[in-house]
Amino acid sequence: MYIDLTKGRIAGNLILFALPMIAGDLLQQLYNIADTLIVGRFIGSQALASVGSAYSLMTFLTSIFLGMSMGAGVLFAMEKGRGDMARLRAAIAHAFVLILLITVVLNALLFAFVDPILRFLEVPRDVYGDMRAYLMIIFVGMTAVFLYNFFACALQAAGNSLTPLIFLGCSAAINIGLDLWFIIGFGWGVRGAAAATVIAQLFSGAGILIYFLWKCRELVPRRKDFSYNGGILREILGLSLLTCAQQSCMNFGILLVQRLVNTFGAVTMAAFAVGVKIDAFAYLPVQDFGNAFSTFISQNCGAGETERQKKGVRQGTAISVAFSLAVSALVWIFAEPLMKIFVDGSETAVISCGVRYLHIEGAFYLGIGCLFLLYGLFRGMGKPGVSLVLTIISLGTRVALAYALAPVIGETGIWMSVPIGWALADVTGYLCFIRMGRGKKAGSAVVR
């Protein structure tokens, strides 16, 4: 199902296009959520701490090729908006080879330097063994994660956000089923959780590749498309490297926060692991709406639909604000029941710490909702450098304040740093937005 975002109702088409992306990312979260839930319930809080800490590391690592795929997707969407299918195929070919090579090199480095990485993260001794065993298996699935994310970005850029959802739905079901089988049935512990995740990732990665080659013939590169084209490669690098830097910077900041959290011990690590998962579910919809908005801006930029972009900014902001406020209210009210989904009621210290985290962050999801929309806006206009600046402001503030406040007021200082960072980045982003609206162009788009 392909949606042309250069025509028809703006809000309706944006929501229709975003819904499969939202559902897909929610399902993707189930890869690690299933591990967290089953590990926390059937193995214990120390195993939960190891899996949760590994999740923060893997999010940072996969953000490298995910960010490059997203950046390349902006060029794909622009070429789709222009109707230049030959150039679109050449862009897909060049981006695929480039990002695949980066993924392979990164994977090799991870296997070689897993112990120095864990020492840098200051993983406690009682968690170290489980976390290392989990990661050594998870690293096997990185190429499959690349395949899924690359072809999902290519399909979404062309207007098809439904197919990636279907593969993720099947993959999530496989992951949950294998988690139960390997952990409860076979008693394999965290190794079983990792193996279940990798098998599910292999299914989604191989499946979407086969679908793309079989069903999307107009997008599949021909042999001539792999011939070196310096102009296309420079465009891909210009968009991809900055988007990759933005994604990596964002997740590296989170990794530094994880490092600080680790110094507080297994209880805080477990609470943070669960809180991060709840956060991910809470604001994933506005994150994916921002990604859908980026495709909308890119397609209309390629088609020269300036007025449509302006209307889209107004309508997109209204949708993001309304959703963020509603989710904030729900997370604030149901913080304790949400924690108890993942942690046994007897783990009162973990639950109490997690509730404090959610009460502080849950009140301010409006900040991250606006920030994701700004990311999508600037990335879609071919200005990923602005998104990178906003990320540096948001995460730089968060990390600096966390390390400054934690010695004074404990883990509460870490939690408080998050919404402050969001707010500063939002103010900066909207000042840039207003400046552009007074007559400056970004790419071929003019926003007000």
Separation CA 377–CA 312 (nearest Å)? 10
Query: Could you tell me if residue 443 is inside a domain?
Result: no
Query: Could you tell me if residue 234 is inside a domain?
Result: yes
pLDDT at 447 over 60: no
Query: Could you tell me if residue 5 is inside a domain?
Result: no
Give the pLDDT band (50/70/90) at residue 325. very high
339, burial (CB in 10 Å: exposed 0-12, middle 13-18, buried 19+): buried
- Give residue 183's identity as a one-letter amino acid code: I
Q: Give phi and psi for 445, each to the nearest 5.
A: -105, 145
| Average pLDDT of span 356-363 | 87
Separation CA 416–CA 21 (nearest Å)? 30
Query: Could you tell me if residue 186 is inside a domain?
Result: yes
pLDDT of residue 437: 65
pLDDT of residue 159: 80
pLDDT at 174 over 60: yes
Number of H helices, E strands in the chain: 16, 0
pLDDT of residue 137: 94
pLDDT of residue 49: 74
If phi > 0 it is left, if psi is from -120 to 50 it is alpha, else beta; for residue 187 that is left
Tens of pLDDT, residue by residue over 7-59, are: 878 888 888 888 887 887 776 666 556 666 777 777 776 777 777 777 778 87
Tens of pLDDT, residue by residue over 301-313, are: 877 777 888 888 8
> Helical H runs in 45-84?
45-82
- Residues with Cβ within 8 Å of 327's Cβ and at least 6 positions away in sequence, in order, are 282, 283, 285, 365
User: What's CA 6's distance to the chain center, in Å?
Assistant: 26
| Average pLDDT of span 216-243 | 88
Question: Pick from 100, 73, 70, 69: which is nearest to 88 by CA?
Answer: 73
Boundaries of domain holding 274: 10-437
pTM listed for this prediction: 0.70
pLDDT at 1 over 60: no
H/E stretch holding 217 reads: none
DSSP 364: T
Query: Could you tell me if residue 39 is inside a domain?
Result: yes
Q: How many domains does the chain have?
A: 1
pLDDT of residue 329: 93
Query: Could you tell me if residue 3 is inside a domain?
Result: no
- Greatest alpha-carbon pair distance for the chain in Å reads 64
Separation CA 176–CA 181 (nearest Å)? 9
Averaged pLDDT score across all residues of the chain: 84
pLDDT at 221 over 90: yes
Query: Could you tell me if residue 4 is inside a domain?
Result: no
